[in-house]
Amino acid sequence: MFEIKSGDKILSLTSPVVMAIINVTPDSFSDGGQHATVKQACEHADKVIAEGALIVDIGGESTRPGADTVSVDQELSRVIPVIEYVAKNHDVWISIDTSKPEVMEKAVAAGAHIINDVRALQEPGAVAMATSLDVPVCLMHMQGQPKDMQDSPEYENVMDQVSEFLSLRLDYCVAAGMPRENIILDPGFGFGKTLEHNYELLAKLPELHSLHLPVLVGLSRKSMIGDLLQRSVDERLAGSLAGAMIAAQQGAQILRVHDVKETVDALTVMSATMASLHQ
Ligand code: PT1
């Protein structure tokens, strides 16, 4: 039913696809600097593509709760070499996880096919840039900014407010000249939401389909899994897989995950089950 197009590439979203997370952000344990970070990200991309990711989402700004912002130059020096490496060595969809118009422009020039913006193109110049680049764009809902979004999230009705926000951003982008077919929607799990808000959003995910656009979901290893189960980040695989399967069953087309091999296996079981109905 759904598909996305970028240049002459077409990706069918008839059954759910996996988007692998490639973080190009130095972790506190590696002291090798930028070069080591870029090299690790390229190696990780090789691995997740071999495991069946159809999209790799490359990001140089951490947007997890409490994270600080980074400069344009810093972000570019992290993501561009990784995009160039993946574009040169693989035939896979490349998504750039950024809110900055300058990064969108250079990333697409380097080979990216999708823009993934957790700020839903609200930075100055972002709508105009994404429209002129003419690639699919993921618009995500966030309440607040990463630095303080978990301080005290509040909603009257979380799904109504998330849908309303995404619908307004969609209208704004279309009015600016962006084709509706280029837009993907994301409720933004963990972005200014309590545990209860996140599970209510997951339960009501089908409501997002009233806008008739593909839906992307990212809940892999997030606090909504860890806080519910009392599990540390490296013990969240089973919970993350359950969340991904529920999202897929609720109609999500794109699943943004860390554990690609395991998620692809689980989705293959689900897809085989669904396909047996149409024989
Ligand atoms: C996401 C997403 C993203 N998540 C899209 N892009 C992150 N489209 C980065 C926690 O609660 O869901 N959709 N880009 C990562 N952000 C977070 C947020 C990581 C919350 C962890 C948490 O643990």
Q: According to the model, what pLDDT value does residue 19 have? A: 98
Q: According to the model, what pLDDT value does residue 149 have? A: 94
Distances (CA, A) of 141 to 26, 28, 164, 188: 26, 28, 10, 5
Question: Where would I find the beta strands (DSSP E) of the chain?
Answer: 3-6, 9-12, 17-23, 55-59, 93-97, 114-117, 137-140, 183-186, 216-217, 254-257
Strands 114-117 and 93-97: parallel
Cα 146 to ligand 1 centre (Å): 10
Residues in the chain, total: 279
Q: Residues 112-148, buried b or exposed e (16+ Cβ, 10 A)? A: bbbbbbbbbbeeeebbebbbebebbbbbbbbbeebee
Atom 2 (ligand 1) nearest CA: 218
Cα 4 to ligand 1 centre (Å): 22
Q: Which two tokens stand for residue 195?
A: 């545990």
**Token pair 């339960």: residue:** 203
Cβ of residue 137 lying under 6 Å from some atom of ligand 1: no
Element (H, E) at 36: helix 33-50
Q: According to the model, what pLDDT value does residue 30 have? A: 53
Q: According to the model, what pLDDT value does residue 184 have? A: 98
Q: According to the model, what pLDDT value does residue 36 have? A: 81
Cα 21 to ligand 1 centre (Å): 10
Q: How many domains would you assign to the chain?
A: 1
- Model confidence, pTM: 0.97
Q: Give the domain range for residue 166.
A: 3-277
CATH of the domain at 95: 3.20.20.20
Residue among 27, 139, 191 to mutate when testing ligand 1 (max atoms within 8 A of CB):
191
Cα separation of 231 and 128, whole Å?
42
Cβ of residue 165 lying under 6 Å from some atom of ligand 1: no
Cβ of residue 116 lying under 6 Å from some atom of ligand 1: yes
Cβ of residue 63 lying under 6 Å from some atom of ligand 1: yes
Cα separation of 218 and 244, whole Å?
8
CA max distance for the chain: 55
Catalytic residues: 222, 256
Q: Which two tokens stand for residue 34?
A: 């930028």
For residue 233, the number of C-alpha atoms closer than 13 Å in the C-beta half-sphere is 3
Strands 3-6 and 9-12: antiparallel
Q: According to the model, what pLDDT value does residue 32 have? A: 64
The neighbouring-strand residues paired with 231 are none
Helices (runs of H) and strands (runs of E) counted in the chain: 9, 10
User: Which one, of 85, 183, 92, lies nearest residue 134 by Cα?
Assistant: 183
Q: Which two tokens stand for residue 66?
A: 């409490």
Cβ of residue 254 lying under 6 Å from some atom of ligand 1: no
Q: According to the model, what pLDDT value does residue 35 have? A: 82
Atom 1 (ligand 1) nearest CA: 218
Cβ of residue 144 lying under 6 Å from some atom of ligand 1: no
| pLDDT tens track, the chain, 279 positions | 899 999 999 999 999 999 999 999 987 555 567 888 999 999 999 999 999 999 999 999 999 999 989 999 999 999 999 999 999 999 999 999 999 999 999 999 999 999 999 999 999 999 999 999 999 999 999 999 999 999 999 999 999 999 999 999 999 999 999 999 999 999 999 999 999 999 999 999 999 999 999 999 999 999 999 999 999 999 999 999 999 999 999 999 999 999 999 999 999 999 999 889 887
